[in-house]
């Protein structure tokens, strides 16, 4: 895969668009924290499931009302961890997109400096037909 030739092209892209560069390490930290939070929530849900199965197997009465709060908390942690992991991944996608945009800008910039030559290609069947029914020239606009 082609990479940006110089970091100054990426800096120029940020300067021209008014963006601030993203922190690569913060994206990694988001992914790590998201996966860690998801793992903690999965182990919490597993513990709660084993706790319920163990005490119902012993035929003791389990107060399910006390387990609803930790269950909801574990589900919330699962959602938060997934969000953090996806946010970190999105940050890496933005960084990659910025590098590709800077690379394409480097490729297009030399072509933008060349003058545009209007070619008058000959037509085989004569001039192009006029649009019928408007009654206006292209420079006029209906008021």
Q: Read off the pLDDT of residues 71-94 as tens digits, 9 standing for 90 and up.
A: 899 999 999 999 999 999 999 898
**Mean predicted confidence (pLDDT) in 30-53:** 93
Other residues' Cβ atoms within 10 Å of the Cβ of residue 101: 15
Q: Would you say the C-alpha torsion 7, 11, 17, 20 has a positive or negative sign? A: positive
The model's confidence at residue 53, banded by pLDDT at 50, 70 and 90, is confident
Q: Which residue has the higher pLDDT, 57 or 126?
A: 57
Q: Whole-angstrom Cα distance, residue 3 to residue 108? A: 15
Q: Are 13 and 29 in contact (CB under 8 A)?
A: no
Q: Are 30 and 84 in contact (CB under 8 A)?
A: yes
Q: Where are the beta strands (DSSP E) in 15-69?
A: none
């Amino acid at each position: 895969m082609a990479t940006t030739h110089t970091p100054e092209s990426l800096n120029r892209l940020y300067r021209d668009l008014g963006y601030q560069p993203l922190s690569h390490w913060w994206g990694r930290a988001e992914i790590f924290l998201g996966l860690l939070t998801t793992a903690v929530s999965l182990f919490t849900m597993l513990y709660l499931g084993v706790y319920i199965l163990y005490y119902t197997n012993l035929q003791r009465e389990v107060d399910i009302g006390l387990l609803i709060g930790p269950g909801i908390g574990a589900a919330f942690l699962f959602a938060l961890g997934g969000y953090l992991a996806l946010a970190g991944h999105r940050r890496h996608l933005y960084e990659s997109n910025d590098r590709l945009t800077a690379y394409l800008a480097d490729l297009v910039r030399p072509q933008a400096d060349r003058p545009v030559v209007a070619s008058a290609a000959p037509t085989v069947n004569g001039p192009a037909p006029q649009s019928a029914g408007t009654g206006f020239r292209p420079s006029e606009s209906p008021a």
